[in-house]
């Protein structure tokens, strides 16, 4: 027989809390209304990160007397040969047309054994050259493409030497020899070429060569630099008797600390422009004479400009 259960007490009713009497129009009522209002998902003004301002890039001026279908740009990648791997030979050649379309892009088998692939710069590896084009074939292909063309390049002398080709100076546009794209050393008057990556950042506001180089990308960047300065560049060449030398108006000389533009040389003193003209006359007349305050970049300087070493 089950033990008798104790009778359960009825549960006590919870006491109702009476709301306090609040005077109409008080701050408490305003706060209560604000809390009851559903939260808005709309971000506040100060929650938004400021959008970066887009840099305006000026359109390249057109030149009506130049047939753009005759303009191509080239860039090459090199590898090292020899016991120390310091001698450069061709490993890749890329050519684009005026619109940036790839006309030619081939890996090239060097004539000598590669001792330094320079992969961190060239992007070339051993497997890149296994089925590469023979050097002689690449040389013929490029010569055929360049026939009658204006060739744009950055330190293009190095690329031409690697290809063992020559091209008329009047049909070459080298961005290391365009004076507005050059620089001076502190308190110096001589002009030196800038690296392609620096020109891309300063002129085009583009970042390149953060790792391994891409010769197609570099050729397109070089072409863009030429197109940006095409108008004044071609006018300078048209008026020049020696288009293979430095062309264009030289960049202003800046104070090393304040970066303020230093005034031009007085008319009573020979300026860089006069020295440049004198250098042209010396070369035209076959005199090899150094001109004070003026220097044409040599092969070593152009190589440093290309690889930024």
Q: Could you count the other beta carbons within 10 Å of the beta carbon of residue 6?
A: 6
As a whole number of angstroms, the distance between CA 129 and CA 212 comes to 16
pLDDT at 181: 95
In this structure, is residue 257 part of a structural domain? yes
Q: Which residues, 6+ apart, have CB-to-CB distance to 71 below 8 Å?
A: 97, 98, 149, 150, 152, 223, 226
Let me know if residue 91 belongs to a domain.
yes
| pLDDT tens digits for range 149-190 | 999 999 999 999 999 999 999 999 999 999 999 998 877 778
**Position 172 in a domain:** yes
Does 235 map to a domain?
A: yes
Query: By the 8 A CB rule, do 132 and 106 touch?
Result: yes
| Rounded Cα gap, residues 218 and 96, in angstroms | 10
pLDDT of the residue at 184:
84
Contact 129, 114 (CB under 8 A): yes
The answer to the question of residue 25 being in a domain is no
How many domains does one find in the chain? 1
pTM to 2 decimal places: 0.65
Q: Is the pLDDT of residue 129 over 80?
A: yes
pLDDT mean over 133-137: 98
Residue 59 resides in a domain: no
Q: What is the pLDDT of residues 230-269, one digit of tens each?
A: 999 988 888 876 666 777 777 766 666 666 656 544 333 3
222 inside domain: yes
Instruction: Give the CATH number of the domain where residue 236 resides.
Output: 3.30.420.10
Residue 49 has pLDDT above 60, yes or no: no
180, part of any domain: yes
Calculate the average pLDDT of the chain: 78
Range of the domain at 210: 68-307
Q: What is the pLDDT of residues 73-113, one digit of tens each?
A: 999 999 999 999 999 999 999 999 999 999 999 999 999 99
């Amino acid at each position: 027989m089950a033990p008798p259960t104790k009778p359960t007490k009825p549960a006590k009713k919870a006491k109702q809390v009476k709301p306090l009497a609040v005077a109409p129009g008080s701050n408490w009522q305003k706060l209560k209304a604000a809390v009851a209002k559903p939260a808005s998902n709309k971000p506040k003004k100060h929650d938004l990160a400021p959008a970066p301002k887009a840099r305006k890039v000026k359109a390249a001026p057109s030149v009506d007397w130049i047939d753009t279908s005759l303009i191509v740009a080239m860039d090459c990648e090199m590898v090292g040969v020899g016991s120390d791997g310091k001698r450069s030979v061709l490993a890749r050649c890329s050519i684009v047309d005026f619109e940036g379309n790839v006309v030619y892009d081939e890996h090239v088998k060097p004539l000598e054994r590669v001792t330094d692939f320079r992969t961190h710069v060239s992007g070339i590896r051993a497997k890149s050259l296994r089925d590469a084009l023979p050097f002689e074939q690449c040389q013929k292909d490029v010569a055929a493409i360049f026939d009658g063309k204006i060739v744009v390049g950055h330190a293009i002398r190095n690329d031409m030497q690697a290809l063992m080709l020559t091209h008329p100076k009047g049909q070459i546009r080298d961005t290391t020899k365009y004076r507005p794209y050059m620089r001076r050393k502190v308190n110096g008057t001589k002009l030196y070429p800038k690296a392609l990556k620096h020109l891309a950042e300063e002129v085009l506001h583009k970042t390149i060569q953060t790792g391994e180089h891409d010769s197609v990308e570099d050729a397109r960047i070089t072409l863009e630099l030429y197109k940006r300065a095409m108008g004044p560049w071609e006018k300078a060449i048209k008026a020049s008797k020696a288009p293979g030398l430095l062309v264009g108006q030289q960049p202003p000389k800046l104070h090393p600390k304040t970066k303020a533009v230093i005034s031009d040389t007085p008319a009573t003193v020979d300026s860089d422009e006069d020295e440049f003209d004198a250098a042209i006359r010396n070369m035209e007349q076959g005199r090899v004479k150094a001109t004070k305050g003026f220097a044409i970049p040599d092969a070593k300087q152009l190589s440093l400009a290309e690889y930024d070493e």
